[in-house]
Chain A
Amino acid sequence: MEDSCSRSETQEWIFIRQATPTIILLRRVLSTSIQAAGPSQALLLSSVTLPGSFKGNLGGSSCHPPGPWFTLGTFFNHSSISSQLQTSIAFKRRLYPPDHKNFIRLPGEGKSHARRKLAWKTEEPTTRKETDPQQRHEMMMTQWSGELPLTAEYKIYGETRTSSFFGSSSFIKNLVTDVSKLWTSISKEKINVSRPLAVEEGDLGDLELLLTNRDVLFHLLSLLRPKDLANLCRVSRKMNFYASHNYVWKSLFDREKKKAPRELIERLSYRELYQHIFRWEWDDAKKSTGLSLVDDSITATRPQQESPANPCVMSKLPFNRIKDSYEVTIRNKGTWLGIGVSDSNLRLQNESTLGKQRHGFNSAFFCQDTTVLQTKGHLDVQVQQALQTGDRLKVKIDFEQKRVLYYRNGKLEGVVNSKVPLKEGELYPVVNLSFTSSVSFVNS
């Protein structure tokens, strides 16, 4: 990353181009912006907010007056994106911003910055008055020819839109591509989370009478755990309607939200939001080539025998104190099977099976001829009863006590103690599959 603090405008612009946001930054910016502004303004907000990384990367260098990059606290419609970028460029090029009155100092910015801004105000007005907007625009067009303007096409919720931007073509192109990808992934996530059956028919059996006062029914359902609500959804269409109701899940979410990440995505119901935050799924990017993910990445299978040795797949998200356990159903045991946890040092295909690798921390409930709990090659517990297809295995991390607990069908089978601290965000659910083995997360 360029870290020069040169005042050369070209270098500055190059720097900004190199500071083109990663998908991670965009995700963070967008998740905040969607919550605050709504999807149509998210694109603009990111482009306005993007230079925030510029400041961050420079570590608050005094060489660059942050200026408008940090001061656009208002949300604009995407139609005004070109003028905002144009403004930013003008600022960088020491052309006084046309609507400088809108630029205010944000709390937390240094006094030196304030002084610098004041200096700008005293130095530039004459220049500004003398500069004809048309002339300035032409000057910009000339100086940045080859890069201005750019027509970019992007999609929001499947609707294609076209906008003209001023700025570096690669910068804008990358931005739009990233945003477009992000929106696609968000939309996909939304589609993948199925809606409750919007049918209020059938009967509730002995509970039918509760429908005379639905508040009572909702209150009653709000006392249940997600797992029980999931089971209720599977009872009948009408029960599904009530057990999936937003009110019930809001109660549940409110109860848990203190522990939940502060990530809210607009348009998700509370049930979907709960699932979004608390559900497990396997990660396509962290799996051995021999494995396949189905059922929206909930089920991992090994369909081919001729795949790399001992293929593993890890979950998308790591354990934390909220999600400190996961549960899987063995859909097909195959000839052998390993289910456990590991850190990111695990080799997804290795001569050693899960729980026997020497790389980082990895532990597994491993079943072949015998069923054992093994950690980094050490046999911890020999389990009497072999794993069977249909078994439910639960793996829980006890961060305080530095141990991993293994349950089979609700019964504790063994505990693995770790010598090293088990940290939040560093351990992942992992499975190690033989030919035809298949394992599914139980997300309820």
Chain B
Amino acid sequence: MASESISVTTSDDQTIQLSRKHAQMSQTINSMLEDSVGADQEAIPLPNVSSEVLKKVIDWCTHHENDPAPVEKVKKLNKKREYKAKNSTISDEWDKNFVNAELRVIVDILLAANYLDVKGLFELMCKHIANELKGKTPDQIRERFGIQDDLTEEDKAAMRKAWGATKNDS
């Protein structure tokens, strides 16, 4: 019988135990487990995920362990509703607190969720960053994400031509 916990090795060489149920929420780990059926239970290497980020991922998995699988969710939605769902805001209060972190951490979790293929977490992180970008002026985006304005006047004129005037242009 398969053991109830799985060992994984993170990019900073730490070995972390996680429950099989949580591990199976990651399609990447799930595939690795299926491939290694009958083999010695060695720690699964996760070279793209740090221990700090993995703990965050496990936190999220713990909270959402009883959620229906994302595939089932999608099946229930017709295309229109799916589109709406994609654009809706984050409704879960726990999720709202979860994403209330530094942007660099959010980006790390997003990349980890992508690597581990945890769909729900991936969508949550994307939605959060997209919400951070929505409705903001270029200046606000630069300030929020620490991006430098390297556009020349010619570039700006070209964009005005392509997109029309903005409030700042008036």
- Residues of A bordering B, CB below 8 Å: 192-194, 197, 201-207, 209-210, 212-213, 215-216, 219-221, 223-225, 228, 230-240, 255, 275, 279, 295-296, 298-299, 329-331, 389-390, 392, 440-444
CB distance from B151 to the nearest CB of A (A): 6
Determine which residue in B86, B111, B145, B163 has the highest number of CB atoms from chain A within 10 A of its CB, and name it. Answer: B163
Q: Which 3 A-B pairs have the closest CB atoms?
A: A205-B146, A205-B147, A443-B164
Of A197, A220, A231, which contacts B138 at CB under 8 A?
A231
Chain A contact residues: over half helix, strand or loop, or mixed?
Answer: mixed
CA gap between A194 and B163 in the complex, in Å? 9
Question: With a CB–CB cut-off of 8 A, which chain B residues contact A240?
Answer: 151, 155, 159
State whether A223 touches B163 (Cβ < 8 A): no
Question: With a CB–CB cut-off of 8 A, which chain B residues contact A197?
Answer: 155, 158
Question: With a CB–CB cut-off of 8 A, which chain B residues contact A221?
Answer: 130
Question: With a CB–CB cut-off of 8 A, which chain A residues contact B126?
Answer: 216, 219-220, 223
Chain A residue at smallest Cβ distance from B129: A220
Question: With a CB–CB cut-off of 8 A, which chain A residues contact B130?
Answer: 220-221, 223-224
- Residues of B bordering A, CB below 8 Å: 83, 86-87, 103-104, 107-108, 110-111, 114, 126-127, 129-130, 133-138, 141-142, 145-151, 155-156, 158-167, 169-170
Question: With a CB–CB cut-off of 8 A, which chain A residues contact B156?
Answer: 234
State whether B163 touches A444 (Cβ < 8 A): yes
State whether B165 touches A299 (Cβ < 8 A): yes
Of A202, A216, A228, which contacts B134 at CB under 8 A?
A228
State whether A233 touches B145 (Cβ < 8 A): no
CA gap between A220 and B126 in the complex, in Å? 5
CB distance from A334 to the nearest CB of B (A): 14
CA gap between A222 and B102 in the complex, in Å? 23
CA gap between A218 and B87 in the complex, in Å? 15
Question: With a CB–CB cut-off of 8 A, which chain A residues contact B127?
Answer: 223
CA gap between A440 and B165 in the complex, in Å? 7
State whether B165 touches A228 (Cβ < 8 A): no
Question: With a CB–CB cut-off of 8 A, which chain A residues contact B147?
Answer: 202-205, 207, 235-236, 239
State whether A236 touches B133 (Cβ < 8 A): no
State whether A329 touches B160 (Cβ < 8 A): no
State whether B137 touches A231 (Cβ < 8 A): yes
CA gap between A392 and B155 in the complex, in Å? 23
State whether B86 touches A223 (Cβ < 8 A): yes
Given contact pairs A207-B107, A234-B163, A235-B138, enumerate 11 new A-B contacts (beta carbons under 8 Å).
Answer: A202-B148, A205-B147, A206-B146, A213-B111, A224-B133, A234-B138, A234-B166, A236-B147, A331-B165, A443-B163, A443-B164
State whether A329 touches B150 (Cβ < 8 A): no
CA gap between A204 and B142 in the complex, in Å? 9
State whether B111 touches A390 (Cβ < 8 A): no
CB distance from B108 to the nearest CB of A (A): 7
Chain A residue at smallest Cβ distance from B164: A443
State whether A216 touches B111 (Cβ < 8 A): yes
Question: With a CB–CB cut-off of 8 A, which chain B residues contact A295?
Answer: 160-161, 164-165
Question: With a CB–CB cut-off of 8 A, which chain B residues contact A223?
Answer: 86-87, 126-127, 130
| 9 pairs, CB–CB < 8 Å, chain A vs chain B | A202-B148, A205-B147, A207-B129, A207-B145, A207-B147, A223-B86, A223-B127, A231-B166, A443-B164
Of B103, B146, B155, B161, which contacts A237 at CB under 8 A?
B155
Question: With a CB–CB cut-off of 8 A, which chain B residues contact A275?
Answer: 162
Question: With a CB–CB cut-off of 8 A, which chain A residues contact B83?
Answer: 255
State whether A210 touches B164 (Cβ < 8 A): no
CB distance from B143 to the nearest CB of A (A): 10
CA gap between A223 and B170 in the complex, in Å? 28
Given contacts A210-B107, A210-B110, A444-B163, contact A232 B149 (CB under 8 A): no
CB distance from B154 to the nearest CB of A (A): 10
CA gap between A92 and B138 in the complex, in Å? 64
State whether A212 touches B162 (Cβ < 8 A): no
CB distance from A349 to the nearest CB of B (A): 26
CB distance from B133 to the nearest CB of A (A): 6
Question: With a CB–CB cut-off of 8 A, which chain A residues contact B135?
Answer: 228
CA gap between A205 and B133 in the complex, in Å? 13
State whether B129 touches A203 (Cβ < 8 A): no
CA gap between A390 and B169 in the complex, in Å? 9
Question: With a CB–CB cut-off of 8 A, which chain B residues contact A390?
Answer: 167, 170
Given contacts A210-B107, A223-B130, A236-B149, contact A392 B167 (CB under 8 A): yes
Chain B residue at smallest Cβ distance from A327: B164
State whether B170 touches A389 (Cβ < 8 A): yes
Question: With a CB–CB cut-off of 8 A, which chain B residues contact A238?
Answer: 150
CA gap between A380 and B155 in the complex, in Å? 43
Of A193, A220, A235, A299, which contacts B162 at CB under 8 A?
A193
State whether B149 touches A235 (Cβ < 8 A): yes
State whether A212 touches B103 (Cβ < 8 A): no
CA gap between A239 and B159 in the complex, in Å? 13
State whether B107 touches A331 (Cβ < 8 A): no
CB distance from B66 to the nearest CB of A (A): 26
Chain B residue at smallest Cβ distance from A228: B134
State whether A206 touches B104 (Cβ < 8 A): yes
Chain B residue at smallest Cβ distance from A226: B163
State whether B167 touches A329 (Cβ < 8 A): yes
Of A205, A234, A279, A443, which contacts B151 at CB under 8 A?
A234
Question: With a CB–CB cut-off of 8 A, which chain A residues contact B142?
Answer: 205, 235-236
Question: With a CB–CB cut-off of 8 A, which chain B residues contact A255?
Answer: 83
Chain A residue at smallest Cβ distance from B113: A216
CA gap between A279 and B167 in the complex, in Å? 17
CA gap between A223 and B84 in the complex, in Å? 11
CB distance from B99 to the nearest CB of A (A): 14
